[in-house]
Amino acid sequence: MFKKLQEGDTVGVIAPSSKIDKDDLEVINNSVLLLEGRGLKIKFGNNAFKDTLGYSATPQEKADDINRMFEDKEVKMIFCVSGGFNSNSVFEYLDYEIIKANPKPLCGFSDSTSLENVIYEKTGVITFNGPTFKALTSWATPYAYQEFEKRLMQGDMTLGRDEDEYLTVKEGKAEGILVGGNLSLVSQMSAGAYKMDFTDKILFIEEFCLESPPELVSNHLYYMKQNGVFDKLKGIWVGNYDGSVALERILLDVLGDEYKFPIIKSNNFGHTEKKTLIPVGGKARIDTDKDVKIEIIENFMD
């Protein structure tokens, strides 16, 4: 159970992925001003702006910031500043006991997928797939910021907004624990030393079309199928993908008629301005008979 953020609370900001580009500094500063205007304090990790390797800080430096932010009693939640490509490099350097002993919300999307899911997998601490710190102000609408405020400051469990559209890909009802995020990264965690447990989970997936054409999306999904992921799931929630072929169509091509779980589609998470905060580790229910076809069914905000 997390405490809702209040005025005067401190928000930590870390850079677990690629280095921060100079072009991002103005947007990052806009996010600082936005949250400070809401009464929150901002604290950057000691290594957040380092470029030790020429493409990011070292894995040890990044992990040190993560561990310190969780251990810091002053920090009430943690934002990943932006995305990138190598947050998985920190896995072996994280202190999972510190994280487990000091649970607090951590939020980001895209490359943050790896970090969010490994923390939940190793500690049971709920994390959030939602806007990065940069994304609070880098899009054309305030949707992402409003969803952050709704979930973590007001404690509202509603996924998305009233105007969001949900489509049924395959009918059914299911309950399970939410895991997932960016498809390419979830696929990597289907096997290996840091593999995710997909048993009785509702998997949510999205993908960035500029990095993953349909044939690569198919590759990721087949890798998951070949490693038995879909045999364990309770349901799938498909998010944003602006490729030449719809993500849900590629998914159905891969799944065939072998699986009976429900599948739904919406465009309120992923590489898009609409970013609702999805709790990785939170319990949810899919019901394709309803207009809003997925809901969080446990309250983890006090």
pLDDT above 70: percentage of residues in the chain: 100
In order of start, what are the domains of the chain with their CATH numbers? 10-153 (3.40.50.10740), 166-296 (3.50.30.60)
Q: Which residues contact 92 (CB under 8 A, 6 or more apart)?
A: 59
**Average pLDDT of span 266-271:** 97
Q: Is the pLDDT of residue 16 over 90?
A: yes
Residue with tokens 């899911």: 117
- Stated pTM of the model: 0.97
Question: How confident is residue 40, by pLDDT bands cut at 50, 70 and 90?
Answer: very high
Q: Are 186 and 195 in contact (CB under 8 A)?
A: no
23 versus 250: the higher-pLDDT residue is 250
**92-108 residue pLDDT tens:** 999 999 999 999 999 99
Token code pair at residue 214: 């349909």
Residue with tokens 């049971």: 124
Q: What average pLDDT does the structure give for the chain?
A: 97
Q: Is the pLDDT of residue 140 over 90?
A: no
Question: How confident is residue 1, by pLDDT bands cut at 50, 70 and 90?
Answer: confident
> What CA–CA distances, in Å, run from 61 to 45, 88, 93, 261?
10, 13, 9, 42
**281-301 residue pLDDT tens:** 999 999 999 999 999 999 999
Q: Is the pLDDT of residue 119 over 90?
A: yes
**172-220 residue pLDDT tens:** 999 999 999 999 999 999 999 999 999 999 999 999 999 999 999 999 9
Query: Of 3, 8, 268, which is closest to residue 139 (Cα–Cα)?
Result: 268
